[in-house]
Structure 1
Amino acid sequence: MKSRTLGAVCTAVLLAVVVTGCSGSKDDKGEGKAGSGTARAALDALAVKQAAPKAGYDREGKFGRAWSDKTDAPGSGNRCDTRNDILARDLKNPRNDGSSACVIASGTLDDPYTGKKIKFQRGTGTSSAVQIDHVVALGQAWVSGAQKIGQRQREALANDPLNLIAADGPANGQKSDQDASKWLPRNTAFQCTYVARQVAVKKKYGLTVNAGEKDAMARVLKTCPNEKLPVDGGTGVALKETRK
């Protein structure tokens, strides 16, 4: 009798485990569904499309003069070029050179891409140690839908603080215009933030992702499923989706 009772209990427990395992909010891959407001949810909503040819890409012709202050980005119109705006935002103890309220002459960067500290000093042969990276590279934006948005939106994208970050010069050069399937920051602690910023930019400007890129982004965000979608570029002004 004890053997039959024990067998019945085991069977009941097994059935309960099976039933429990089949319930709950799970997607078809057995993973929890992305929560509202997360980068994962925004990634799922992006259109997936093969990258377009890069023909016709021209940095100044299609995205405007580098570091122009002519932008729809929050905080624009302060008469400081975008490069110095981002240096002022991202460097610790940024200092002016005395010649202009805009020009940042020195400071320290906790580089998000490599994890190292970089002493920035403005000057020939030293300024390039810290570069301003387009999180979604302009060449990559061009092949993922920027060809179809207006000039005004492209110039905004090129100067939007959401899409700009001060970073190690060599790391930025290594990245070039590669998407997340081909390049991610060496500093793994920053990868979730980096991918979330890319997703936010692509959502804001109506850009697409290719299949490999989406898979790479999803792998990163799987490690941080609650990573929030950034809402601004460090200005405190809410992100708004740009319409075509």
Structure 2
Amino acid sequence: MSRKQLLWAVVAATLAVIVAVQVTSTSQDSSRFIAQADIPTVAPGVDVLAGVAEIPARVRGYDYRRDAFGDSWTDDTTAPGGRNGCDTRNDILDRDLSDKTYVSISRCPTAVATGTLHDPYTSVVVPFVRGNQTGAAVQIDHLVPLALAWDLGARNWSEEMRVRFANDPANLLAVDGPTNQDKGDKEPALWMPPNSAFHCQYSMQYIAVLRGYRLPVDAPSAAVLRDGARSCPTG
């Protein structure tokens, strides 16, 4: 995957003066946005978290249910080429992997059979081969984890909005499986990508998701995200 392709996969903007982002709200309680192919830059003096509410700390809820966000991936219009017969997971693999071969499975005519992941979280190269152990090597990460989003307010969303959030390409990234397991549902204050060179892109995309879905951020994580944004080039 080229640097430009990688950035397309993970970069969305937070403010017009930083990077361009298109936000489409379909109703008052549901929204989606599409990342643009741009390198994130931060204008001097701009607070990248402007407009994102801050709370003192995450309050973990123990009523979280994964199936509240849908019981599986969907084939929705929020994914690249949505309603193409391939579910969101297959679409993200196709978007983020390089050197791909394809196989037709079920209703998906272009499922990735083999490919290469240049993992942004670790900078390692991970081979992908479809099979029983596929999910162990390459996984699809929710940048803002579902359980975290639940604690930050998603428990009060409509089911439609939660399903949209779980399948929004702007909140999804193909990554190294063990590293994704290490992240779990941790907030930025407790986990950032081991590859520090990726902190700029990760922070900017994370903030874009928070803003796009009107989610708050805990104060310790806000400090970490601002620090990550400071590693971005100025513009």
- Shorter-chain TM-score above 0.5: yes
Q: What is the one-letter code of the residue matched to 1:68?
A: T
Q: Cα 1:98–1:75, aligned 2, differ >3 Å: closer, same or farther?
A: closer
Equivalence for 2:52:
46
In 2, distance between residues paired with 1:224 and 1:134? 22
- Greater Rg by CA: 1
Is 2:74 aligned against 1:93? no
1:106 pairs, out of 114, 118, 137, with: 114
Is 2:39 aligned against 1:58? no
Q: Cα 1:171–1:76, aligned 2, differ >3 Å: closer, same or farther?
A: same
Contact 1:121 1:127 in 2 (8 A): no
> How far off is 1:74 after superposition?
5.9
In 2, distance between residues paired with 1:84 and 1:74? 10
Deviations 1:150-200 (A, max 9, x none): 211111110000000000000000000001111111111111101111101
Contact 1:69 1:76 in 2 (8 A): yes
> How far off is 1:69 after superposition?
1.8
- Larger % of helix: which? 1
Q: What is the one-letter code of the residue matched to 2:58?
A: A
Deviations 1:80-124 (A, max 9, x none): 111100000000022212444132111001010110111100112
- Please list every run of at least 4 consecutive aligned residues from structure 1 whose deviation after the TM superposition is greater than 6 angstroms: none
Unmatched tracts of structure 2, length 5 or more: 1-14, 20-41
Written as runs of structure 1 = structure 2, the 5 A alignment for 1:119-134 is 119-134=127-142
Q: When the two structures are aligned, how many residues end up with a matched partner?
A: 193
Q: TM-score, normalised by structure 1?
A: 0.73
Q: Cα 1:178–1:127, aligned 2, differ >3 Å: closer, same or farther?
A: closer
Equivalence for 1:37:
18
Q: What is the one-letter code of the residue matched to 1:117?
A: V
Q: What is the one-letter code of the residue matched to 1:51?
A: R
RMSD over aligned Cα atoms: 2.1
Q: TM-score, normalised by structure 2?
A: 0.75
In 1, distance between residues paired with 2:228 and 2:173? 19
- Partner of 2:160, secondary structure, is helix
> How far off is 1:43 after superposition?
1.2
Equivalence for 2:88:
82
In 1, distance between residues paired with 2:192 and 2:214? 22
> Taking every aligned residue pair, what percent have the same amino acid on both sides?
40
- Partner of 2:217, secondary structure, is coil
Equivalence for 1:224:
232
| Bigger relative contact order, structure 1 or 2 (CA pairs below 8 A, ≥6 apart) | 2
